[in-house]
Every structure is written in C-alpha cells, then in structure tokens.
Chains A and B, each alone.
Chain A
Amino acid sequence: MILVITEQRDGVLHQASWEAVVAAQQTAQAVQVLVVGAGQTKVADDLAAADVESVRMVNHPLLAAYTPDGFIEAIGQVVTAIEPELVFLPHTYQTREFAPRLAARLQRALVTDCVAIKRREDRLVFVRPMFQGKFVADVEPIGPKPHFASFQIGAFRPDAVVRGSCPAAIQTHEVTLNAEMIRQDVEVPFQEAKQAVDLTQAERIVAVGRGIKSRDSIELVERLAAALGAEVAASRPICDSGWLPMDRQVGSSGQTVSPKLYLALGISGAIQHLVGMKGSRTIVAINKDAEAPIFEVADFGIVGDLFEIVPAIIAALES
C-alpha cells in the first residue's frame, strides 16, 4: 500500500497533491491518502473522488497551522500505525521542510524530487535530477520499508488521476499531540508588496540568467525585449544579485509563466527555473554550453555567445 501525504493550507488543496496521487496510482493497486489539519473535510471530500482505498484524516487543533514539529509527530504516528510499503509526497517547500526529518526519525530512506519510477525486478527505482538537471540518476532506497519519495511538481499530470466509481471511504485517524512537542511559533503567511509585474499575462518574455555576466549587460536584454514587444524576466541568481527586481523572477520561488514566446538568454535551466516556464508555447534558448539543460525544453536552440547573437537579433528585428 502506498500512503500519499497531501498538502493543504486553510482548506485549499495544493495541486501537486493530485500529482503525488497519480504517481501512486501508476505504481500500486492500493493507495491511501492522508489529509493533515484541523478538520479539512472539503479537502478530504475532494480527494475521495479519486480511485483510492481510503482517505485518512488527521484532525487536531495543533495541526490547524503547519509546523514541522507538529506534522512530523502526527504523520510519524500514522505511518508507524498503518505500515505502508511506500510514502509519497509532492516535492513542495513544505515537504522539503518536514519530510527529511520525518524519514530520519523513522530511520527510513527518502528520495526527493523524483520525476519517474522504474521497476527493476521486484524493486522500485526512483529517477531524479542531479547537478541542477544536467544529469538524471536512478536512485534505489536502502533499508527497511516504508521508503519515502517526493515528486517534482509537474512530473505527473494532475488530470491523469483515476477517479473512483463511488467516493472512497473517509476515516479519521487519532493522534496524540501536546503543545510542548511544537517548538515553532508560526505567523500568518503573507505576500510581499503586491507583485508590480504580472509576468503571467505577458505574451512574450525575454529571460536572462547567469550568462549575462554583469549588471551593465541587462540593458542589452532590455533592448531585445523592447524590439520583441516582450517583458524582461530572470532566473533566480540575477534577482539574488539585485540586477533585476525579485518580481521579475521566473521559477519555483518566483512566477510561473506560459507565454507564446519564451526566449532564455544565458539560462542554464536548473530545475527550479524550468518548472516556472516549461509550459511556454515556443521556447528559444541561447547558451554557450551546448549541454545546458535548458536545451531539453527548447524548441529552437542557438549555441553561441549571446553578446554576439543578441545584437544581431535586435538588428534583424529592426530591419
């Protein structure tokens, strides 16, 4: 049996939870789903539409807001009690915070950021990126079960979920928690000053990465964007350096975009960036490294020096 640990905030299910359910359905007959919170029945009802054995709810006032200590304790009690073969999670920021500690406490293996599952005889092997996506690796968890695996957002299609002929049973699982177990005091999540730039509405985007080398060269990118009628965006390191504001960042910690044209300049294509733009209709990559992962998602590729190619494109557009 595979136990899928879903994620919700204030009664809203994280969409990547469906993807983890799909990964489980494609791996085993028996799937159970866990909802952790303080009575999120709507989320449980939604999940019960999937073809799964059951939806288990853990309800406790101390789980109303996510804390790593509270969730690790509660989920640890469930996993220990029901002994699944595998535990699947979406590879969200929340999973990244609690799952390694949960697996370590139970002394079990956790393979993170998986994009596919392979079978080798009777064993499961998890496929995941390495070296920022330049390679992928087949990774086998070692030691007693359950093995834990988290799945990269977008690796499975949420609409591939198999629905059941009737709603799955929803059952409540009791856990024992007290306030002393939870050492983190959490405040209400917030957004920084409203995003000034809404890249999600842009038809064309020119995005720039480390390959631009200096702040002074951003101007070249802006000229290309102007010639294309495009918005300027960037990968995380450019915003970290302060060369462009944070609200121009595309990727897992920034905006997720799917414009008609996405032109990536000097962006290697680390997975954190790809998840934010791989849904774009036409992707053009210009990079000096022919093996940069960005070319894996590009429709058109130019291997070369962007400082020679970009001025030539601007000239071609203006002529």
Chain B
Amino acid sequence: MKIAVCVKQVVTRDWPLRVDDTQAWVYDRDASFEMNEPDAYALEEALRLKERHGGEVVVCSAGPARVAQVIREALARGADRAIRVESDDLALADGCVVAEALAAAVRQEQFDLVLTGLQSDDQGFAQTGVVLAELLDIPHATIIMEVQISDGRVRVKRELEGGWFQWVAMSTPALLTIQSGINQLRYATLKGIMAAKKKPVRVVEPETELAPRHKILALYVPEKAKATRLINGPPVEVAAELVKVLKEDARVI
C-alpha cells in the first residue's frame, strides 16, 4: 500500500498572533511553526496502516522553504520519504491553489491512498483535501474516524454531526480527510530523528502560476458578541467575587 499524506505547516497554536501591516494576514515572520494538528493525525493513521499492511508512507507539503521543518518532523515520526512543493506564494494560498500544486507533484506516483487532515488550524476552509481528490479524479470521504483496508477496497467510518457515524466503502485509489482523535499520536524518537536525515526529499516547484479563487481583504479581531465583565485581582479575591456574582447577579448557583 502506497500512501501519501499531505501536511500543512501552521503557526504554533500558542503563538501570540498580531495582524500584520497588510491588515490581511498575521505577522508570522518570527513565529514558531508546527504541523497542522489534524494532519498529524492523518500522518499517524498512514503510519499505522503501513504497519498493518506494509508499503510506503510519503509525506507531502506545499509552502515556502520553511515547511521543510514539518517534513523533517514527519520523516522522524516514520514517513519513508517526502515531496515538498516550494514557493513563497503558497504561504497564503487558498485550498484550490494548494491542491493544484500538490496534485501536480503527486499525480505521477499513483498512490493507493491519499490522506489529509480535515481542515487547517489557520485558514480552516476545509477544502484542500476534497479539491485534491477532484483533481486526482479519485473517490473521497471526509471526517474519518476509522480506516479498514481489504482487497483493494477501503471501508471508513465517517463522522456525522451530533454523535452519528456512517460506514462508507470505496475502491482505491481514494482520498480521505482524517478527523482529529482518530488515533493516539506518536512522537519522534531520537533514532527516528537521526534516520530522517538520510531519507529522500524531492523538492519541486509549482508547474504553473496558479490562479487564486479568493482574496482575504481584511483580517481583524472579531467584535464581541457580549459585554464580558472581567474579574481581576489575586486568586482568592477573584474566586470570592465570582461566587458572589454567580449567586447574586446571575443567580445560577
């Protein structure tokens, strides 16, 4: 089983984000970056499928040169090799542009399974994986919580809303977008980190200039839905004040 996993590099979850001078993105020049969390679950699922069924896991990422960091991380966790599509324009690109760039880079490899996370923690349009399936002309299913493979077919447990699920089966090759929590993530071992340095990384450039499908005109802090009453002070005073307002003002305890 030959599996591709597409991962995105995003700003670290705890990074204090500020809107940049363009007023349309965040100031991320000095930020620390990490693997998009749902994509980390997709990678873990690919590694587990390989352990069960054999084959190869190839990690793919599209972005500026800095995405080499998440490629290294994925190789250290156990991916066999990597494809990196490099272009500064991909840093802010929309899902369609990223999917085009990835499709051109992976199409010739004839993967049996392509996995992505269900959405990114930064833009969060939840489109890249689904559009990639269209460009590769392979069937897809989304928000997957379990993957079973037998006889050239994949049977997956798809999460619906409100605690409902559904099993869906299709032939491979297929593309799945993976839900967070499908498995327990592994961390890179020292041995894995050392081994990663020798693993092959194919670096390619996007084949053509890709036309964006949308433009971010402005990025800003949302207006508050409610007036929040902030309670400040040392913990003991804050606690006493909170209990008092919950009893006397809100009357909920």
Q: Which residues of A does B touch, CB under 8 Å?
A: 68-69, 92-94, 96-98, 100-101, 104-105, 108-113, 120, 125, 129-143, 183-192, 195, 203-204, 228-229, 236-237, 239-242, 247, 252-256, 260-261, 278, 281-285, 289, 291, 293, 295-305, 308-309, 311-313, 315-317
Asked whether, in the complex, the Cβ of B122 is within 8 Å of the Cβ of A130, the reply is yes
Asked whether, in the complex, the Cβ of A142 is within 8 Å of the Cβ of B217, the reply is no
| Distance of A201 from chain B, by nearest CB (Å) | 15
Asked whether, in the complex, the Cβ of B229 is within 8 Å of the Cβ of A302, the reply is no
Asked whether, in the complex, the Cβ of A135 is within 8 Å of the Cβ of B222, the reply is yes
In the bound complex, CA of A141 to CA of B165 (Å) = 33
Asked whether, in the complex, the Cβ of B243 is within 8 Å of the Cβ of A110, the reply is no
Asked whether, in the complex, the Cβ of A237 is within 8 Å of the Cβ of B180, the reply is yes
Asked whether, in the complex, the Cβ of A130 is within 8 Å of the Cβ of B184, the reply is no
In the bound complex, CA of A204 to CA of B252 (Å) = 8
Residues of B within 8 A of A312 (CB): 235-236, 238-240
- Lowest 4 A-B CB distances belong to which pairs? A240-B181, A312-B239, A183-B139, A100-B130
> What are 19 pairs between A and B in contact, CB < 8 Å?
A93-B142, A93-B159, A96-B142, A97-B143, A100-B125, A100-B131, A104-B99, A105-B134, A109-B214, A111-B125, A111-B214, A113-B125, A190-B166, A204-B253, A281-B252, A296-B228, A298-B228, A299-B228, A312-B240
Closest to A262 in B: B252
Closest to B216 in A: A137
Q: From DSSP, what is the main secondary structure of chain B's interface residues?
A: mixed
Asked whether, in the complex, the Cβ of B170 is within 8 Å of the Cβ of A184, the reply is yes
Asked whether, in the complex, the Cβ of A240 is within 8 Å of the Cβ of B180, the reply is yes
Closest to A247 in B: B163
- A-B pair count, CB < 8 Å, reads 250
Residues of A within 8 A of B195 (CB): none
Interface residues on B, range: 35 or more
**Which residues 194-253 in B have Cβ within 8 Å of A in the complex?**
211-222, 224-226, 228-232, 235-236, 238-240, 242-243, 245-246, 250, 252-253
Q: Which residues of B does A touch, CB under 8 Å?
A: 11, 14, 16-17, 19, 24, 26, 95-96, 99, 118, 121-127, 130-131, 133-135, 139-143, 158-171, 179-181, 184, 211-222, 224-226, 228-232, 235-236, 238-240, 242-243, 245-246, 250, 252-253
Asked whether, in the complex, the Cβ of A135 is within 8 Å of the Cβ of B96, the reply is no
Which of B215, B217, B243 makes the CB contact (< 8 A) with A313?
Answer: B243
In the bound complex, CA of A219 to CA of B114 (Å) = 40
Residues of B within 8 A of A285 (CB): 228
Asked whether, in the complex, the Cβ of B163 is within 8 Å of the Cβ of A192, the reply is yes
In the bound complex, CA of A285 to CA of B130 (Å) = 35
| Distance of B162 from chain A, by nearest CB (Å) | 7
Residues of B within 8 A of A295 (CB): 224, 228
Asked whether, in the complex, the Cβ of B231 is within 8 Å of the Cβ of A260, the reply is no
Asked whether, in the complex, the Cβ of A184 is within 8 Å of the Cβ of B141, the reply is yes
Closest to A317 in B: B243
A100 and B95 in contact (CB under 8 A), knowing A113-B125, A131-B26? yes
Asked whether, in the complex, the Cβ of A135 is within 8 Å of the Cβ of B139, the reply is no
Residues of B within 8 A of A134 (CB): 17, 221
In the bound complex, CA of A184 to CA of B158 (Å) = 12
A254 and B130 in contact (CB under 8 A), knowing A138-B216, A309-B239? no
In the bound complex, CA of A241 to CA of B41 (Å) = 12
Residues of A within 8 A of B226 (CB): 283, 296-299
In the bound complex, CA of A185 to CA of B126 (Å) = 23
Residues of A within 8 A of B95 (CB): 100
Closest to A143 in B: B213
A300 and B222 in contact (CB under 8 A), knowing A137-B216, A139-B215, A186-B168? no
